[in-house]
């Protein structure tokens, strides 16, 4: 009971029959019958129908109240007649007979209707986010987010982790994404950076002797947006543990994610013990390091087939001779699919910028296997049998080939796996398919410069006997680096860290950083590691993406209360904005005007 209400709009039911109550909320909807007026009053807890007839002299005033006005209604709870019960509402068995009312907050004419299932442009939704957030779907999503985060905190504390906060103003790091920079007034010409992740801090927390760290950590990266990637800021469940190896991290995170997804979704978890797939296997079988394991299609390598003399498909044979490879996807029992099914996929592949996908179907005619389709005639029966053996295809199955360099083939077939599976409706939307991707290479070749660079986190521990590590073959070195993927979404990335400074210097040297530059750029951490650092490791699941999966949303703005738009602007608050010249002067900053 407050000045404004005795109950919320979601809690009254048949047990309150006869009570005098006071409700406050927004006018969700009015239904005016001239002599009888229904008003749906809404708050975050629900909707309660209030009713008044024209014998009451308040009728004339209440019928004029615009939708989304904040109002207070006083009245008596009455049960509804049987045939007027609304089963859609928690309060649907009762209604409030209005005896008095008060306007608490007026509204101007609405730029977007709140009570509607219509879709609205992002522009209007973001500009009037406070109205958009009143709408039920996104309102629920935001509350889901709150509950999930609260649950995560309880779980982590249950696992013995403590939440420690780390700085928001820190130093710029040379690796990785662009930093957001913050000029320092007290240190003219120098800049702070917002943390891309609390990576170094969480390791420093371990060196400081705190054993199990977690944080719902804001992360800032000045990179371009995607539907599932906010520009600017996002949140990670940042985790770090001392005295652990990879499997110890896996145990904690599998338990946590199983608990979260079971509690907040009715969808089935395909494997509660997450399968572990090596990076190289994943790239071969799925063409990607974030495979959607709901999709049963797999990719296989058939390059060798195209060196056979009884294969006459000259375009591919020529490319293979020049170093291209051929990989393929088999679709089961697609013998009777119409020509358009195959041609659509080929056309789609061309639209993706490739040379298309060659295809054929295996058929058995007079006890002889042969390839049907435009390129079927180029393959002998024996060659077909060999392809079927290698690709595990059977009579009546079809196969789509892609030929090109490794990267292009992987990329196209990764997309094709998804495209074909959707065309054939092979993906069960009611499951969560988690997996670990493990054994990432420590280094890769930078395509532009041709130089060796860290493929992921430079602070990861290389695998194998550290005394026998062959630093001359850096591309062969694997790291204790791992990702979690769920339904094709990269959920998190983590590693066992390198806590040995001498080894760190050697590994950085391979990527072109001498000791001096490592000392300079990672001074905080490299110094700390020299004073008794425990073996440690961790991971950082993305909070936003977890919520997206739970809410079944494809766009991160649907689960973010006040998101930036794709151009990293806040249309409601007008950020970023110009600042006054004297503020810039104070910061020793000049704006260079573009022509």
Partner RNA sequence: GGGGGUGUAGCUCAGUUGGUUAGAGCGAUCGCCUGUCACGCGAUAGGUCGCGGGUUCGAGUCCCGUCACUCCCGCCA
| Residue ranges binding RNA (CB under 7 A) | 29, 31-36, 38, 40, 49, 51, 53-55, 64, 66-67, 80-81, 83-86, 88-89, 92, 95, 109-113, 116, 118-124, 126, 175-178, 196-197, 199, 221, 223-229, 447, 454-458, 493, 555, 557, 565-567, 569, 571
Beta-ladder partners of 276: 436
Which residue lies nearer to RNA by CB, 104 or 110? 110
Q: Locate 156 and state its tokens.
A: 């982590």
Which of 428, 402, 529, 440 lies closest to 488 in space, CA to CA? 428
DSSP-H helix ranges across 29-135:
59-62, 122-127, 129-132
Which residue lies nearer to RNA by CB, 133 or 375? 133
- Give the Cα separation of 63 and 54 in Å (integer): 10
Q: Locate 265 and state its tokens.
A: 């979704």
Buried b (16+ CB within 10 A) or exposed e, 88-119: ebbbbbbbbbbeebeeeeebeeeeeebbeeee
- Give least dist CB 499 to RNA, A: 16
DSSP-H helix ranges across 22-102:
59-62
Which residue lies nearer to RNA by CB, 88 or 580? 88
Pairing of strands 191-193, 181-183: antiparallel
- Give least dist CB 376 to RNA, A: 32
Which residue lies nearer to RNA by CB, 49 or 354? 49
Which residue lies nearer to RNA by CB, 215 or 457? 457
- Give the Cα separation of 355 and 375 in Å (integer): 15
Contact (Cβ atoms closer than 8 angstroms) between residue 400 and residue 359 = yes
Q: Name the phi and psi angles at 487, rounded to 5.
A: 50, 35
- Give the Cα separation of 178 and 231 in Å (integer): 11
Contact (Cβ atoms closer than 8 angstroms) between residue 565 and residue 122 = yes
DSSP-H helix ranges across 440-490:
none
The half-sphere exposure of 188 on its side-chain side, counting CA atoms within 13 A, is 8
Angle at 489 between CA 256 and CA 174, to 5 degrees: 90
- Give least dist CB 361 to RNA, A: 30
Which residue lies nearer to RNA by CB, 56 or 380? 56
Which runs of E-coded beta strand occur in 417-462?
431-432, 434-438, 443-445, 452-454
Hey, what's the torsion of the CAs at 71, 75, 79, 81, to 10 degrees? -80
Which single residue is written with the structure tokens 């987010």? 145
Which residue lies nearer to RNA by CB, 118 or 582? 118
- Give least dist CB 124 to RNA, A: 5
Q: How far is CA 472 from CA 452, 459, 465, 568, in A?
A: 12, 19, 15, 43
- Give least dist CB 43 to RNA, A: 16
Which of 150, 306, 316 lies closest to 237 in space, CA to CA? 150
Which residue lies nearer to RNA by CB, 197 or 420? 197
- Give least dist CB 459 to RNA, A: 7
- Give least dist CB 493 to RNA, A: 7
- Give least dist CB 336 to RNA, A: 32
Which residue lies nearer to RNA by CB, 81 or 366? 81
Which of 390, 393, 290 lies closest to 332 in space, CA to CA? 393
Contact (Cβ atoms closer than 8 angstroms) between residue 226 and residue 565 = no
Q: How many Cβ atoms from other residues are within 10 Å of residue 35's Cβ?
A: 9
Which residue lies nearer to RNA by CB, 212 or 557? 557
| DSSP letter (8 states) at residue 450 | -
- Give least dist CB 31 to RNA, A: 4
Which residue lies nearer to RNA by CB, 178 or 368? 178
- Give least dist CB 197 to RNA, A: 4
Which residue lies nearer to RNA by CB, 14 or 177? 177
- Give least dist CB 71 to RNA, A: 14
Q: Is the dihedral of CA 453, 459, 462, 466 positive or negative?
A: positive
Which of 506, 491, 492 lies closest to 461 in space, CA to CA? 506
- Give the Cα separation of 229 and 118 in Å (integer): 24
Q: How far is CA 523 from CA 302, 527, 534, in A?
A: 49, 6, 18
Which residue lies nearer to RNA by CB, 225 or 284? 225
Contact (Cβ atoms closer than 8 angstroms) between residue 216 and residue 156 = no
- Give least dist CB 583 to RNA, A: 24
- Give least dist CB 353 to RNA, A: 8
Which residue lies nearer to RNA by CB, 143 or 555? 555
- Give least dist CB 279 to RNA, A: 13
């Amino acid at each position: 009971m407050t000045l404004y209400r005795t109950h919320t709009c979601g809690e009254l039911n048949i047990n309150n029959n006869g009570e005098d109550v006071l409700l406050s909320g927004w006018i969700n909807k009015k239904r005016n019958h001239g002599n009888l007026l229904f008003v749906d009053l809404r708050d975050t807890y629900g909707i309660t129908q209030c009713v008044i007839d024209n014998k009451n002299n308040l009728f004339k005033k209440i019928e004029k109240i615009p939708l989304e006005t904040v109002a207070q209604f006083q009245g008596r709870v009455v049960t509804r007649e049987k045939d007027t019960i609304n089963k859609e509402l928690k309060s649907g068995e009762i209604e409030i007979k209005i005896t008095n009312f008060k306007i608490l907050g007026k509204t101007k004419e609405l730029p977007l209707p709140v009570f509607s299932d219509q879709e609205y442009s992002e522009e209007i939704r973001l500009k009037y986010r406070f109205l958009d957030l009143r709408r039920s779907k996104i309102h629920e999503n935001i509350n889901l987010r709150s509950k999930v985060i609260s649950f995560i905190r309880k779980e982590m504390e249950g696992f013995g982790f403590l939440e420690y906060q780390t700085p928001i103003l820190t130093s710029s790091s040379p690796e990785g994404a662009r930093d957001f920079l913050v000029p320092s007034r007290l240190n003219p010409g120098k800049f702070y950076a917002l943390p891309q992740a609390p990576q170094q801090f969480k390791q420093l927390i371990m060196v400081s002797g705190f054993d199990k760290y977690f944080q719902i950590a804001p992360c800032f990266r000045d990179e371009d947006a995607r539907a599932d990637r906010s520009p600017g800021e996002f949140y990670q469940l940042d985790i770090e543990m001392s005295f652990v190896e990879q499997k110890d991290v896996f145990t904690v995170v599998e338990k946590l994610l199983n608990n979260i997804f079971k509690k907040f979704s009715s969808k089935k978890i395909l494997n509660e013990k997450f399968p572990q797939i090596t990076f190289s296997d994943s790239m071969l079988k799925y063409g990607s390091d974030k495979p959607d394991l709901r999709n049963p299609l797999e990719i296989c390598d058939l390059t060798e087939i195209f060196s056979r003399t009884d294969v006459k498909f000259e375009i591919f044979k020529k490319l293979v001779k020049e170093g291209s490879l051929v990989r393929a996807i088999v679709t089961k029992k697609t013998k009777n699919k119409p020509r358009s099914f195959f041609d659509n996929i080929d056309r789609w592949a061309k639209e993706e910028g490739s040379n298309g996908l060659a295809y054929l179907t295996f058929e058995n005619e007079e006890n002889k296997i042969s390839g049907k389709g435009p390129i079927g005639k180029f393959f002998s029966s024996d060659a077909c049998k060999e392809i079927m053996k290698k690709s595990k295809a059977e009579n009546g199955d079809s196969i789509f080939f892609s030929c090109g360099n490794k990267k292009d083939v992987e990329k196209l077939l990764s997309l094709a796996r998804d495209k074909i599976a959707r065309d054939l409706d092979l993906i069960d939307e009611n499951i969560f398919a988690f997996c670990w991707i493990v054994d990432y290479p420590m280094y890769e070749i930078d395509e532009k410069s041709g130089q060796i660079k860290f493929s992921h986190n430079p602070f990861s521990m290389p695998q194998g006997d550290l005394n026998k590590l062959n630093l001359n073959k850096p591309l062969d070195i694997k790291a204790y680096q791992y990702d979690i993927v769920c339904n094709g979404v990269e959920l998190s990335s983590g590693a066992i860290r390198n806590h040995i400074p001498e080894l760190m210097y050697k590994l950085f040297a391979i990527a072109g950083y001498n000791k001096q530059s490592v000392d300079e750029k990672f001074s905080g951490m490299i110094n700390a590691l020299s004073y008794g650092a425990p073996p440690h490791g961790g991971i950082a699941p993305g909070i936003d993406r977890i919520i997206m999966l739970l809410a079944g949303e494809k766009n991160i703005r649907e689960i973010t209360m006040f998101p930036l738009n794709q151009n990293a602007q806040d249309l409601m608050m007008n950020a970023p904005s110009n600042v006054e010249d004297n503020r810039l002067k104070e910061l020793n900053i000049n704006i260079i005007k573009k022509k």
